[in-house]
Amino acid sequence: QVPYSIMADAGTSNLLPEDKPRSDDRVGQVQREVDEVSGIMKDNVQALVQQSNHLNDLNTKTEDLLSEAKNFKKTSTALKNQLWWQDMRIQLIIGSVVGVIVLIIIVKIASAFSSDEEETYN
């Protein structure tokens, strides 16, 4: 005996043996489409997770770079100030040496003039 399916047609029921295979084909087709969509969704979820991980890595690298930039600025500012003071000390030392040399020259010239004046009075 052939398995029958019941098909409602305007209130009457007819038994059609050919409906059974078509129904199975349709269910199989729908199942394949569901499986395909499910696979696509799983791939999308995996891609989202990977993108999330990449974004987290980028965020961490950005925070590290910002921290390093702040440390660089702090260190470079301290170095700039240190070099400025070192330059000022060198300029003060050179200025002092030049000043002492000029003072010695002035004293020598002044003493030479005063000895010449004493000789002219004597």
Dist CA 41 CA 46 (whole Å)? 9
C-alpha dihedral sign at 64, 67, 69, 71: negative
Per-residue confidence in pLDDT tens, the chain, 122 aa: 444 444 444 444 554 455 555 677 889 899 999 999 999 999 999 999 999 999 999 999 999 999 999 999 999 999 999 999 999 999 999 999 999 999 999 999 988 888 766 666 55
10 phi/psi in degrees, rounded to 5: 55, 45
- Residues 21, 33 contacting (CB under 8 angstroms): no
Instruction: Output the CA torsion 109→111→114→119 (10° steps).
Output: -110
- Identify the pLDDT of residue 2: 44
